[in-house]
């Protein structure tokens, strides 16, 4: 079997399925023949349904973005499909077809493998590829002379260094693959590991192309867990006041990212509510203090204007006698400067 897109999660295809190659930045074009004509022409990514439908038309020619089709009637009925400016993500399974309606079209499935580079031997410098663990790599090696024997090797082609050795146009051995199409030998490695780092060679009947691969670990996204406390009663963080030291745990795992995000949002909401409650309490307290201070404030008049005097009355009732009832003298001329309060006695 040969992996369709040489990427994780994509299905594999059997040797009976149609396989085509392309190079990043290049254009892809392939023609497919049908036994009967069709009014409707379709070009799809994987199955022809929903958003996977790239083109669905009754015209002889049509284009949508980078995708285009062309229908010709020669000795047979031919539908050509094209993709311009290939990217690595264009690798995968496709369908195209003809039919009397879009729902009854006869479909042909095929696979496109996009190589990251095409080595033609004109560059004196060794081509280098930086990859991450778990990814895949496909390289095209172009040769002027055709040949039958095709090799994919690690280092020089000899002994245990030979990864794939075949006379066929397609072959696979474990994670290593060979595909030959129009003078180009495509070699692939899937599910790369750090141990795959090194020098490789593609070989066709006496000629070869070399390239270098460096595989590094994929970057981990560290997430933080924020428990309120991570101490026990007997632990060194426990104290007589019941306080403990919060712990911060860093982990490279991506498990339960939604829970971590929710905990962070909840923490911010709680802090915001506490701040609002504290500010509201302070405001109410200040208002109460001001109102209480203004209850004993009175305005009394004299010939010189209006003076603000503080008068303290305690349960004063006409007809009663209170030796400790007090008032503040209102006569500036008859008041001792040191006298502040006088005793008021009511006689019945």
Domains of the chain: 2-115 (2.60.40.10), 117-216 (2.60.40.10), 222-253 (no CATH)
- Angstrom distance (rounded) from CA 96 to CA 326: 107
Backbone angles phi, psi at 258, to 5 degrees: -65, -40
Q: Are 91 and 45 in contact (CB under 8 A)?
A: no
| pLDDT at residue 70 greater than cutoff 70 | yes
Please report the pLDDT score of residue 291 as a whole number: 78
Question: What is the pLDDT confidence band of residue 29, given thresholds at 50, 70 and 90?
Answer: very high
| pLDDT at residue 74 greater than cutoff 50 | yes
Neighbouring C-beta atoms of residue 118, cutoff 10 Å: 19
Averaged pLDDT, 72-88: 93
Token output for 285: 């307290």
Backbone angles phi, psi at 256, to 5 degrees: 55, 55
Least confident piece of the model among 34-43, 70-79, 219-228, 259-268? 219-228
pTM: 0.58
In the β-sheet with 92-99, what is the strand arrangement from edge to edge? 18-23, 106-115, 92-99, 40-45, 53-57
- In the chain, what percentage of residues exceed pLDDT 90? 47
Averaged pLDDT, 82-89: 95
Contact residues for 9 (Cβ-Cβ < 8 A; gap 6+): none
| pLDDT at residue 153 greater than cutoff 80 | yes
Mean pLDDT, the chain, integer: 77
Please report the pLDDT score of residue 221 as a whole number: 62
- Angstrom distance (rounded) from CA 136 to CA 218: 13
Token output for 159: 């002994």
Least confident piece of the model among 25-29, 177-181, 277-281, 310-314? 310-314
Give the 3-state secondary structure of residue 237: coil
Name residue 214's beta-bridge partners: 130
Q: Are 150 and 203 in contact (CB under 8 A)?
A: yes
């Amino acid at each position: 079997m040969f992996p369709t897109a040489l990427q994780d999660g994509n299905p594999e295809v059997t040797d009976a399925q149609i396989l085509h190659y392309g190079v990043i930045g290049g254009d892809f074009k392939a023609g497919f023949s049908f036994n009967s004509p069709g009014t409707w022409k379709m070009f799809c990514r994987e199955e022809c349904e929903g958003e996977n439908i790239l083109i669905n038309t009754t015209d002889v020619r049509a284009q949508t973005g980078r995708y285009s089709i062309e229908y010709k009637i020669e000795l047979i009925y031919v539908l050509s499909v094209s993709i311009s400016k290939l990217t690595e993500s264009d690798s995968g399974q496709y369908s195209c077809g003809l039919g009397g309606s879009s729902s009854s079209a006869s479909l042909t499935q095929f696979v496109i493998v996009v190589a990251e580079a095409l080595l033609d031997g004109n560059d004196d410098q060794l081509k280098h590829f930086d990859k991450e663990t778990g990814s895949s790599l496909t390289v095209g090696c172009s040769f002027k002379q055709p040949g039958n024997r095709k090799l994919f090797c690690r280092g020089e082609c000899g002994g245990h260094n030979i990864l794939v050795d075949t006379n066929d146009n397609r072959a696979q051995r474990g994670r290593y693959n060979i595909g030959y199409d129009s003078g180009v030998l495509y070699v692939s490695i899937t599910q790369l590991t750090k141990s795959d780092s090194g020098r490789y060679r593609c070989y066709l009947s006496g000629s070869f192309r070399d390239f270098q691969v460096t595989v590094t670990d994929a970057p981990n996204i560290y997430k933080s867990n924020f428990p309120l406390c991570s101490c026990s009663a007997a632990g060194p963080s426990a104290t007589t006041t019941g306080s403990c030291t919060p712990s911060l745990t860093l982990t490279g795992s991506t498990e339960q990212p939604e829970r971590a995000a929710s905990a962070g949002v909840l923490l911010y909401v709680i802090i915001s509510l506490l701040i609002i409650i504290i500010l509201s309490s302070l405001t109410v307290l200040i208002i109460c203090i001001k109102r209480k201070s203004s209850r004993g404030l009175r305005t009394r008049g004299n010939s010189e204007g209006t003076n603000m005097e503080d008068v303290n009355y305690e349960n004063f009732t006409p007809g009663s006698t209170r030796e400790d009832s007090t008032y503040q003298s209102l006569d500036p001329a008859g008041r001792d400067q040191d006298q502040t309060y006088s005793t008021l006695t009511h006689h019945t």
